[in-house]
Chain A
């Protein structure tokens, strides 16, 4: 591993001033499950690694009338088992549970999963369909942006030098909403997605789709939403044909690549299949949420 100096600021404030001073020369350490691997492989060579000692304000979950706030340093395991997430954001819980291994989930943080900006980041698709926003702090102040705009390319998140992600805000989905997450891999454990899909649907009283959101992972340079497919669904009565049509539009919107896990062609085909399945699944869940 290349040499670096470990800095351990007491709190977020101190960390921000350190990071703004060091800029590109420093990297922030959260769970370390991606960062340490990248350091060891020499993919990144920062002079400093910054670890915040007090995680106050960066951890935990708070629920309010508008939705849920997840501290960026909440671990993936915490996200997977949190009662409010399991109940109201089950697709997110499921995605968190599908990630890596228990030991990695114990260390890895949701903030780290997003900031690493992998196209296959497991928590990204469910958060995207929930219209999540991210809180970002820098020495100059704080800002909030939609998660959709946060991913800029493989490994590239919309963070300026010196900025950190502090929290993820997920609005309350309300009633009549169903969400689903499906991940396709060859093996069941320890798998990185060939394709992952999250879907959120709101079911109208007349059986029409009031709201539709579809997000996919591992099929484009970033996790992405597919507006054309979503538009196709909105305001239409739900049917299997409609789901198949929307799925076709989703498949033509993705830009997958060939890699060690699968071919681009297969990924594109699977984007369609998984979207279709997730739509059916989400629609059924939405029905349950109407009655309940």
Chain B
């Protein structure tokens, strides 16, 4: 052990550490100062920013030895234990600059160093100071505002003239007034201070560290595994391999093709072969190097082309195409023959990464009764429960999954990631087990957005009416099917966009390769396809010399249009309004003048995205409501908090129904021991869980009324909750009954149980007319593992006369305008501004909607211009943040969000879900803007400087 003395958060500190320990490991593992987060372990992401002698440092690359005599400040010093929030913490909360909160403590430390040096920094100076702190949720604008706000606070204490009192918005209101109020999440400050516990922040005295042995080959037979030497390392408790998995060792959302731990074969670089359980990380890492696996390399299928070649070796015995679906209506060829203009194009999209800051993590401990409790940042607690129970041969009730705060997901935590390993480890050793991937491991092991090739043919009449669409999208699904089968089916129905066609013919297939696993991503496949469709539409509009807004406007779907899902659109279809609003905002926007050698480009694109599963899947959610003795209402709902603001949204819905003040409503994360059915995907949570919460709140109010009516001898109808008090109202007179906080005690005295658990059953939908042909040990759509059950498929006559129940419960619409600046000589693009108009049905919390859209637009700009997970020979080349090329504050465009309201018939108070489409529309809007500046057409993402330059030179067309 080595020793070093330094000041830690203002107090003298003597540290004892193993030589080679980094400050981050010391802070977290030895001091449990877990506000300093680990996002990359390589000094690239900024989540672990601390101050050393007042300067920002990435704690993950600071050695303990270098700390002699210095002063170290961590996020824990910022808010100490005081009740008054530090101006930065308050600023971040007020500006709504917190979403998942994983990057926030690091951001605050970087901002603190800046403000110490420069009390009144310009936005550009703030961007530069935060350039090494990534955020994937917010899009940065709010963070910059928060720092400015805090700077003003620190300088003078008083708000700039004309600004209202610096209070968190939304205080004091309740009831239906809260609908549309910009209420912050109740734990913004907690997240900003680093007090929110993410999965990796769990420390138990006797916990073991788990580390994975990931296959170093993309495709190989495992001939033998020799653990002898690794097991001899002191501190190693056990090593898990496929042999330790008692169950079938297979899982998958729709095709059970993937082993928990590789048995016999590995199919991608990064596939887990063994898991080491050790007393500490050092021992685990030491043992990792001593695991000997005999691999016999097999030919690597590194692309779809190779996979589909005649006589190509197979990744899975059932063939190269794992899922295929065709959606056809009318005669596309005939439609083309009647078109004045028909344009074909082939578009390519690489694998792209979710880029969440919190890497995959999971924790498990034995429950003392033969079962296991799992904590993880999963989007699918119920699926995790099912897969673990089946593979560990435990009854479901013995597997409890607690949903932890998610440090960003975007579809990337939409499967079983590490949960089975820690559960198995906890059962095998009888001890708590924690496992967290480092960034390199995450990039190899984690799922990605599919690589895709899209061949598209679009026809239109001379006056700009779309006629036929023929398209074939081939997805590189990588080594395992994951969600590809559903995504294939989904894509065939969303591919046509929010446009009316006379005929279409859409084929989508997913192909197995030895690449990284393609799976769910924000947009669920439509973010791939929409790039091709909106590019092609833009191109035709330009060729016909029709204003691209007008061109789209005259082709948009409306109520009564039959969609490519077979459904005749009803309900809320405000797509034209999103377009008109976007055009109006653009008209009022001063476009910048291009500098010398620069061009300004404006591009637009539209998108739609289904809300909830639809497709005949059963939709349900559960809610448990319980008034607590501290005067709050405790709510556990089937929700997964991915940083989107779902908990404040739920509290607002409950307040609107019951009248209880939102601050008194505490919504906690899903826990399979309390409620099932939490599925944080498919823009469904506000919609489905929101309805569940609404119904439950109604029942709860009824129960309170009945109880109090009996108690006070009143009629139930007159009993109302007004914020924090309960009153009786009759003929305009108001009689106070009791404080809401006094309700639990009264109920207890009377032996009345006010707790309520309710299961909400969503509206029925119809299985789509598009059948998907799935290979492998398919679960078909019974898909219990997804927590969703399909209803019987109705018989379609196919002649368009069927009265089809809805296939989608709803769709949300998005219209985006992008403004970019292109350097004529280098092809470098600066995205300047995105105008994002989005349909919210009804905006429960407009601030959270805007925050989400801002993040989606910046993410979309990054994916359009720079981001790529490069693969070579089945290996991930882009295995660090630096190589992923996510936008930093310096690359982020300005985003202006406008919400359109058009109440949805099914959504709670008319609300829809809308987390994904901002990204889906941004990608083509940005590329269209670039192409309108260059005059060429870019058909491959990202629109990197070399491709942009070629399009300037007319080489791409």
Is there contact, CB below 8 Å, between B43 and A104? yes
Is there contact, CB below 8 Å, between A270 and B57? no
Q: Give the residues in chain B near A102, CB-CB below 8 Å.
A: 55-56, 132
Q: Give the residues in chain B near A104, CB-CB below 8 Å.
A: 43
**CA distance in complex: A269, B58 (Å):** 36
Whether B877 is near chain A, meaning CB under 8 Å from some CB there, is: yes
Q: Which of B877, B882, B887 contacts A190 (CB 8 A)?
A: B882
**CA distance in complex: A121, B828 (Å):** 22
Do A266 and B945 contact each other (CB < 8 Å), given the known contacts A186-B885, A187-B866, A188-B890? yes
**CA distance in complex: A260, B879 (Å):** 11
Q: Give the residues in chain B near A266, CB-CB below 8 Å.
A: 827, 945-946, 949
Q: Give the residues in chain A near B890, CB-CB below 8 Å.
A: 187-189
**CA distance in complex: A260, B56 (Å):** 30
**Residues 244-270 of chain A: 1 if any B CB is under 8 Å from the residue's CB, otherwise 0?**
000000000000000010110110011
Whether B346 is near chain A, meaning CB under 8 Å from some CB there, is: no
Q: Give the residues in chain B near A273, CB-CB below 8 Å.
A: 825-826
Whether A101 is near chain B, meaning CB under 8 Å from some CB there, is: yes
Q: Give the residues in chain B near A274, CB-CB below 8 Å.
A: 826
Do A103 and B891 contact each other (CB < 8 Å), given the known contacts A260-B870, A265-B946, A273-B826? no
**CA distance in complex: A273, B945 (Å):** 13
**Residues 393-416 of chain B: 1 if any A CB is under 8 Å from the residue's CB, otherwise 0?**
000000000000000000000000
Q: Give the residues in chain A near B882, CB-CB below 8 Å.
A: 190-192
Residues facing A in B804-828 (CB within 8 A) are 825-828
**CA distance in complex: A142, B794 (Å):** 88
Is there contact, CB below 8 Å, between A189 and B888? yes
26 contacts between A and B (CB under 8 A): A101-B43, A102-B55, A102-B132, A103-B56, A103-B58, A103-B61, A104-B43, A184-B826, A186-B828, A186-B866, A186-B944, A187-B885, A187-B888, A187-B891, A189-B131, A189-B888, A190-B44, A190-B882, A194-B945, A260-B877, A262-B945, A266-B945, A266-B949, A270-B826, A274-B826, A277-B825
**Residues 266-286 of chain A: 1 if any B CB is under 8 Å from the residue's CB, otherwise 0?**
100110011001000000000
Nearest Cβ distance between residue B198 and chain A, in whole angstroms? 24
Q: Which of A101, A188, A270 contacts B891 (CB 8 A)?
A: A188
Q: Give the residues in chain A near B61, CB-CB below 8 Å.
A: 103
Whether B793 is near chain A, meaning CB under 8 Å from some CB there, is: no
Whether B636 is near chain A, meaning CB under 8 Å from some CB there, is: no
Q: With CB as the reference atom, state the residue of chain A lying closest to B827.
A: A266
Q: Give the residues in chain A near B877, CB-CB below 8 Å.
A: 260
Q: With CB as the reference atom, state the residue of chain B lying closest to A184.
A: B826
Is there contact, CB below 8 Å, between B883 and A260? yes
**CA distance in complex: A192, B882 (Å):** 9
Residues facing B in A183-204 (CB within 8 A) are 184, 186-192, 194
Q: Give the residues in chain B near A184, CB-CB below 8 Å.
A: 826, 828, 945
| Size of the chain B interface, CB-CB below 8 angstroms | 29
**CA distance in complex: A190, B825 (Å):** 23
Q: Give the residues in chain A near B945, CB-CB below 8 Å.
A: 184, 186, 194, 262, 266, 270
**CA distance in complex: A265, B827 (Å):** 13
Q: Give the residues in chain A near B827, CB-CB below 8 Å.
A: 266
Q: Give the residues in chain A near B828, CB-CB below 8 Å.
A: 184, 186
Q: Give the residues in chain A near B891, CB-CB below 8 Å.
A: 187-188
Whether B878 is near chain A, meaning CB under 8 Å from some CB there, is: yes
Is there contact, CB below 8 Å, between A262 and B946? yes
Residues facing B in A173-222 (CB within 8 A) are 184, 186-192, 194
Q: With CB as the reference atom, state the residue of chain A lying closest to B824.
A: A273
**CA distance in complex: A191, B131 (Å):** 12
Is there contact, CB below 8 Å, between A103 and B866? no
Nearest Cβ distance between residue A98 and chain B, in whole angstroms? 12
Nearest Cβ distance between residue B2 and chain A, in whole angstroms? 13
**CA distance in complex: A57, B6 (Å):** 30
Is there contact, CB below 8 Å, between B878 and A263? no
Q: With CB as the reference atom, state the residue of chain A lying closest to B20.
A: A1
Nearest Cβ distance between residue B907 and chain A, in whole angstroms? 39
Is there contact, CB below 8 Å, between A188 and B883? no
Q: With CB as the reference atom, state the residue of chain A lying closest to B890.
A: A188
Query: A104-B43, A191-B882 are known contacts; what are 10 more A-B pairs with Cβ within 8 Å?
Result: A101-B58, A102-B132, A103-B57, A188-B890, A194-B945, A260-B878, A262-B944, A262-B945, A273-B826, A277-B825
**CA distance in complex: A262, B950 (Å):** 13
**CA distance in complex: A270, B891 (Å):** 21
Q: Give the residues in chain A near B949, CB-CB below 8 Å.
A: 266, 269
Is there contact, CB below 8 Å, between B43 and A188? no
Nearest Cβ distance between residue A184 and chain B, in whole angstroms? 6
**CA distance in complex: A103, B890 (Å):** 18
**CA distance in complex: A277, B827 (Å):** 14
Q: Give the residues in chain A near B888, CB-CB below 8 Å.
A: 187-189
Q: Give the residues in chain A near B883, CB-CB below 8 Å.
A: 260
Q: With CB as the reference atom, state the residue of chain B lying closest to A189.
A: B131
**CA distance in complex: A102, B113 (Å):** 13
Nearest Cβ distance between residue A241 and chain B, in whole angstroms? 16
Nearest Cβ distance between residue A102 and chain B, in whole angstroms? 7
Q: Give the residues in chain B near A263, CB-CB below 8 Å.
A: 946
Q: Give the residues in chain B near A270, CB-CB below 8 Å.
A: 826, 945
Residues facing A in B869-889 (CB within 8 A) are 870, 877-878, 882-883, 885, 887-888
Q: Give the residues in chain A near B58, CB-CB below 8 Å.
A: 101, 103
Nearest Cβ distance between residue B705 and chain A, in whole angstroms? 59
Nearest Cβ distance between residue B605 and chain A, in whole angstroms? 22
Q: With CB as the reference atom, state the residue of chain B lying closest to A191.
A: B882
Q: With CB as the reference atom, state the residue of chain A lying closest to B43.
A: A103
**CA distance in complex: A223, B679 (Å):** 53
Q: Give the residues in chain A near B870, CB-CB below 8 Å.
A: 260
Q: With CB as the reference atom, state the residue of chain B lying closest to A259.
A: B877
Residues facing B in A67-98 (CB within 8 A) are none
Q: Give the residues in chain A near B826, CB-CB below 8 Å.
A: 184, 270, 273-274
**CA distance in complex: A101, B61 (Å):** 12
**CA distance in complex: A270, B945 (Å):** 10
Residues facing A in B795-847 (CB within 8 A) are 825-828
Q: With CB as the reference atom, state the residue of chain A lying closest to B942.
A: A186
Nearest Cβ distance between residue B382 and chain A, in whole angstroms? 39
Nearest Cβ distance between residue B906 and chain A, in whole angstroms? 43
Q: Give the residues in chain B near A189, CB-CB below 8 Å.
A: 131-132, 888, 890
Q: Give the residues in chain B near A190, CB-CB below 8 Å.
A: 44, 131-132, 882
**CA distance in complex: A69, B541 (Å):** 63
Q: Give the residues in chain A near B44, CB-CB below 8 Å.
A: 101, 190
Q: With CB as the reference atom, state the residue of chain B lying closest to A277.
A: B825
**CA distance in complex: A191, B888 (Å):** 12
Q: Give the residues in chain A near B132, CB-CB below 8 Å.
A: 101-102, 189-190
Q: With CB as the reference atom, state the residue of chain A lying closest to B19.
A: A6
**CA distance in complex: A274, B597 (Å):** 13
**CA distance in complex: A104, B44 (Å):** 11
Nearest Cβ distance between residue A197 and chain B, in whole angstroms? 12
**CA distance in complex: A187, B862 (Å):** 10
Q: Give the residues in chain B near A191, CB-CB below 8 Å.
A: 882
**CA distance in complex: A102, B43 (Å):** 10
Nearest Cβ distance between residue B310 and chain A, in whole angstroms? 29
**CA distance in complex: A207, B754 (Å):** 91
**CA distance in complex: A274, B888 (Å):** 24
Q: With CB as the reference atom, state the residue of chain B lying closest to A274.
A: B826
Nearest Cβ distance between residue B68 and chain A, in whole angstroms? 15
**CA distance in complex: A274, B823 (Å):** 12
Can you list the 3 inter-chain pairs with the closest CB atoms, starting with the nearest? Answer: A266-B946, A189-B131, A188-B890
**CA distance in complex: A266, B57 (Å):** 35
Q: Give the residues in chain B near A101, CB-CB below 8 Å.
A: 43-44, 58, 132
Nearest Cβ distance between residue B785 and chain A, in whole angstroms? 37
Residues facing A in B126-147 (CB within 8 A) are 131-132
Q: Give the residues in chain B near A269, CB-CB below 8 Å.
A: 949
Q: With CB as the reference atom, state the residue of chain A lying closest to B866.
A: A186
Nearest Cβ distance between residue A27 and chain B, in whole angstroms? 18
**CA distance in complex: A278, B878 (Å):** 31
Residues facing A in B917-950 (CB within 8 A) are 944-946, 949
